[in-house]
Structure 1
Amino acid sequence: MTSETVFDISVGTRVPAAPDTVFAYVSDLTRSGEWSPECLGGEWTEGTPAALGSVFTARNHRAADVVSWAPVVRGEWATQCEVVASEAPRVFSWAMRDSSGRAQESVWSFLIEAAAGGSVLTHAFRMSDLTEGMREILAKLSGDEKQQFLSDWSGKLEGDMRRSIARIKAVLESTS
């Protein structure tokens, strides 16, 4: 079976902190509530925090007005994420797990590069092959609605990622 990329989004910014400092902050998913518009935080539930294969159980919240016409989860819910790359101080990635506990091709990443005066931090999201949740959402939509949803959701994701990276930068600026 061949993969089709559904989402491939990245946003970046310069931050006034060394790569190891940036990595330590973004790989501590318990602090994700400080930066994410949707994730409220959570806890490490399997393995060593931030290590390859470790599992983080996230608490999330989505408001009613987020792509309000679409049949997406609203209010609070939990997800499990598995660390799929942890290469300090360069890459930290986690994949959303499905209902049976398998990592899906829905991967969030932070990429960190040394730069003059600090680092360049890139926040990326890639989904190839639809996740369980996306299949359920799209099954409820007509052909035109599916295309509209993918476009609207892509815009929502990019906006959330821009807010996240701006918040991360603000925290790192205040501590540098």
Structure 2
Amino acid sequence: MKREFVVSDSIVINSDANTLYDAISDPTRTGEWSPENTGATVHEPRESAYVGMVFDGTNKRGRATWVTRCTVTAADRGKTFEFRVHAIGKSAPKIKGANATWRYDFQPVEGGTKVSETWTDDRTKWPNALALVFDKIVTSGKTFPQFQRRNIRKTLENLQKLYA
């Protein structure tokens, strides 16, 4: 089975690109629309997101909870917001290693803004067989691409409802 490393989806939201960017680039608000993330703490907060900004995200899937350490890698208001997940742990992000990159692109279109969300699996050094077994254990039988495809769609639909 060939491993899939990138999953992306898009939706048009009836709002302007800057408003959507401002919301999505504030990791403390992600729990308002994410099916897994419950919020975040920004290490050195400023008025808006910036490249190099570090935050710890809190997450929940079923009974499992965990914390991730993330660093913003792109912050172009109204255009692109991206961050890399590079540490994880049960109550603190102590296990370091490439995990994933999340990217949001904003494109003005008729009727609002096309928001694209992309997940990239950064576990490129993991053997395919190990990734497949690990993924199926932590997602109740799915690969991470299958699982993230559903999460991305739900996130985008939740954002669309919030900004209807």
Q: Which residue among 107, 119, 127 is the counterpart of 2:101? A: 107
Query: Which protein is richer in helix relative to its size?
Result: 1
- Structure 2 distance, partners of 1:141, 1:24, is 37
- Map 1:33-48 to 2 at 5 A: 33-46=31-44, 48=46
Structure 1 position 103, deviation (Å): 7.5
Larger radius of gyration: 1
User: 1:156 — aligned with what?
Assistant: 147
- Structure 1 distance, partners of 2:132, 2:118, is 27
Q: Across the two proteins, how many residue pairs are aligned to each other?
A: 153
Unaligned runs of 5+ in 1: 64-73
- In the TM superposition, what whole-angstrom CA distance separates every residue of 1:68-124 from its partner, at most 9, and x where no partner exists? xxxxxx611111110010011100000001367977362101100011121100111
- Map 1:107-146 to 2 at 5 A: 107-130=101-124, 138=130, 141=133
Q: Which has the higher contact order (CA 8 A, sep 6+)?
A: 1
Q: Does 1:8 align with 2:6?
A: yes
User: 1:85 — aligned with what?
Assistant: 74
Asked whether the 8 Å contact 2:4–2:145 carries over to 1, the reply is no
TM-score by length of 1: 0.74
Unaligned runs of 5+ in 2: 88-92
Structure 1 position 43, deviation (Å): 1.3
CA RMSD of aligned residues (A): 3.1
TM-score by length of 2: 0.79
Identity of aligned residues (%): 22
User: 1:66 — aligned with what?
Assistant: none
